[in-house]
Structure 1
Amino acid sequence: MGIIYTEETPNALDLFTLYETEQWNDFLHLTKESLHQAISNSWYVISAYEQSKLVGTGRLISDGITVALVSGLIVDPDYRRRGIGKNMINKMVTKCRECKLAIQLFTTDENMEYYKNLGFRTFANGLIYITINQHKQIQGDVFDGRNKV
């Protein structure tokens, strides 16, 4: 059976489990419920399933008028190199084109070529404002050159 794509938010446990495969929650420090709420509050969500297993998800954060930000694109490592991430990005791009939204994303240096191969181009430098609560978790990741953010 092939990969099925849906525009529904995955359930909290499946979402949390997928994020744990890449240790994303080591940075985010969210409960299952908080992570689910964050994804649920997105303007657009795309998820990929093999049978009932969540194998990928991504979302757009947007005002619905001018711009959409690609966020949280993740594919289970066991399902990579099958076009799942590309298909989810293509679905997000289609949604943005339908609504005439500019598309932006922030990524790590190691993922730049992946997104360039999907049609994205470098257009700006990014900055981050560190709040008190984020200082400890970000300092080790960003400022030591690992660029995990």
Structure 2
Amino acid sequence: MKDKVKIITQVNDSQIKDLYQLYQLSWWSQGRMLDGIKIMLENSDLIIGLSHCETEKLIGFARVLTDYVYRATIWDVMVDPSYQKKGLGSLLMESIMNHQSLRNVECFSLMCLPEAIPFYEKFEFATYHKPIEIMIRSRHS
């Protein structure tokens, strides 16, 4: 399958609609609106997409917020359900971890569900067991 996808760092209008559809498939991102997704894309430091070579459909996506030196946080790693279990999630992560602009970043972070921990451990992520809490302030419940 990897030979049928192209890694992209910008999305076209059609692919933004594909991304909207991907967000609607995940419990953590259902309800995201197209206008908000466009603003998010404009303000993300790095986006990595997987586009089907023949149709140009966006079938995978991840994004990074970073200062390019000390910290980078990976967000929204997702693959279209009909393309999962084919190594595309790994391709997204490898593309991020090996990206030229992130080569000097000291520490990467991400949030995931417990069942995704083994996947991210393959990329040398580890559960952080120091006395620290994640604090969140949400404007929307």
Q: Indicate whether the TM-score tops 0.5.
A: yes
Unaligned segments of structure 1, at least 5 residues: 137-149
Higher helix share: 1
1:50-89 to 2 correspondences below 5 Å: 50=52, 51=54, 52-89=56-93
State the match for 2:107 in structure 1.
Answer: 102
- Give the match's secondary structure for 2:22: helix
TM-score by length of 1: 0.78
State the match for 1:129 in structure 2.
Answer: 136
Contact 1:9/1:46 (CA < 8 Å) preserved in 2?
no
Unaligned segments of structure 2, at least 5 residues: none
Runs of at least 4 residues off by over 4 Å? none
Q: Aligned residues, how many? A: 132
Contact 1:55/1:76 (CA < 8 Å) preserved in 2?
yes
Inter-partner Cα distance in structure 2 for 1:116 and 1:19: 24
Inter-partner Cα distance in structure 1 for 2:26 and 2:62: 14
- Give the match's secondary structure for 2:29: helix
TM-score by length of 2: 0.81
Identity value in percent: 19
Q: CA deviation at 1:55?
A: 0.5
CA RMSD, 1 decimal = 2.0
1:116 partnered with 2:121: yes
Please identify, of 66-75 and 15-24, the stretch whose mean Cα deviation from structure 2 is larger: 15-24
Amino acid at match of 1:128: M
Contact 2:61/2:76 (CA < 8 Å) preserved in 1?
yes
State the match for 2:11 in structure 1.
Answer: 9
Change (3 A) 1:15 1:126: farther
* 1:22-69 deviations in Å (ceiling 9; x for gaps): 24433xx43201112112211111000113111000011112221100
Contact 1:10/1:47 (CA < 8 Å) preserved in 2?
no
State the match for 2:41 in structure 1.
Answer: 39
1:49 partnered with 2:84: no
